[in-house]
Amino acid sequence: MKFLYKLIILSCLLFSITSYAQIKGKCVDTSGKGIPYVNISIKGKSIGTVSNQNGDFYLKNKSIKENDSLIFSHLNFNKKIVPIPLIVKKIELTPKVENLEEIVISHKKRKFKIVGNQTQRGNSLYGIRAKHIGKGHELGKIIRVRKNKVYDVKNIQFTIERFGFNFATFRINFYNIIDGVVDLEKINKTNLIYKINDDANVKIDLSTQHLSFSNNFLVAIEWIDFEENHYLREIDKVITIPSVNHTGPMYFRSNKHPKWKKVRISNYNRSLGIHLRVEQYSQ
């Protein structure tokens, strides 16, 4: 009888430990509609994911404990922190109220130029595998702005050299650099989400986004969703982006590593083959 009692106590303890190892729910707006691609992380821990296109999310990790908190962040919604265990499966996020920026009319001379790294095929930098996609995995390149100049971003271009999925969804993000440190908050006002289904030269028009920089900034590609191609070998289920030598370092982060990390790739100091077309003018 005493042994049975101990066994019941032990089972309860094990249940209490493992019951918080998996969490699932749905991110919705105030009308109940699912919010796609919300970044979700455990406060103070290297655990995270991104909601799918319907707003559903799932987290499974033995490190999740009862006193942890979930952080929900999205460009168009206010950040929300929810303690574990979740009281409701639906997490309602409230939209941000953005003030219109002041319109400035300038007659200063402008010219177009290409900044960043021109893509070089055949020099693959980084293989992005399925385990990284859907966890907010971002790769970034710093764009340096000339002194006393302003860059208005018109488009972004990069190349997918190998593509091992039926499709993959990514997001383009821009970040300020403050005192030499890459900021953690995106500065683009809208979610720049795109889908690809093959290897290709990617060119995205950003002329309507009003992205203007007078200081150095970071542009990043965030991989957030994919559909697996079951006919391919595991080694071929990868996305690769060509690199450019002697243009590093590269920057990366994810929900597991929310702070930006600087990485130098090989002795050639490679970085992302990514470049922007900007309109340049004097301040």
In terms of phi and psi (left: phi > 0; alpha: psi -120 to 50; beta: otherwise), the region of 258 is alpha
* Residue 38 pLDDT: 92
Q: Are 277 and 157 in contact (CB under 8 A)?
A: yes
Classify strands 90-92 and 22-28 as parallel, antiparallel or unpaired.
parallel
**Distances, alpha carbon 273 to alpha carbons 142, 186, 242, 247, in Å:** 12, 21, 5, 9
Among 182, 172, 160, CA closest to 205: 172
* Residue 88 pLDDT: 63
* Residue 18 pLDDT: 43
Percent residues over pLDDT 70 in the chain: 83
| Weakest mean pLDDT among 70-74, 215-219, 240-244 | 240-244
Domain(s) labelled CATH 2.60.40.1120 in the chain stretch across: 15-92
Q: What is the pLDDT of residues 179-207, one digit of tens each?
A: 889 998 888 888 899 999 988 889 999 99
* Residue 6 pLDDT: 45
Question: Is the pLDDT assigned to residue 99 strictly greater than 80?
Answer: no
CATH class name, domain 15-92: mainly beta
Q: What is the DSSP string of 77-110?
A: EEEEEEESSPSSSEEE-PBP-PPPPPP------E
Domain(s) labelled CATH 2.60.120 in the chain stretch across: 110-282
Radius of gyration of the chain (CA): 22
Is pLDDT larger for residue 173 or for residue 162? 173
* Residue 262 pLDDT: 87
Q: What is the pLDDT of residues 52-69, one digit of tens each?
A: 989 999 888 888 887 888
* Residue 7 pLDDT: 44
Q: What is the pTM of this model?
A: 0.79
Q: What is the pLDDT of residues 24-43, one digit of tens each?
A: 899 999 999 999 999 988 88
Question: Is the pLDDT assigned to residue 12 strictly greater than 60?
Answer: no
Mean predicted lDDT score pLDDT of the chain: 82
* Residue 5 pLDDT: 47
* Residue 121 pLDDT: 57
CATH class name, domain 110-282: mainly beta
* Residue 211 pLDDT: 93
Q: Pick from 60-64, 74-78, 247-251 the range whose average pLDDT is largest.
A: 74-78
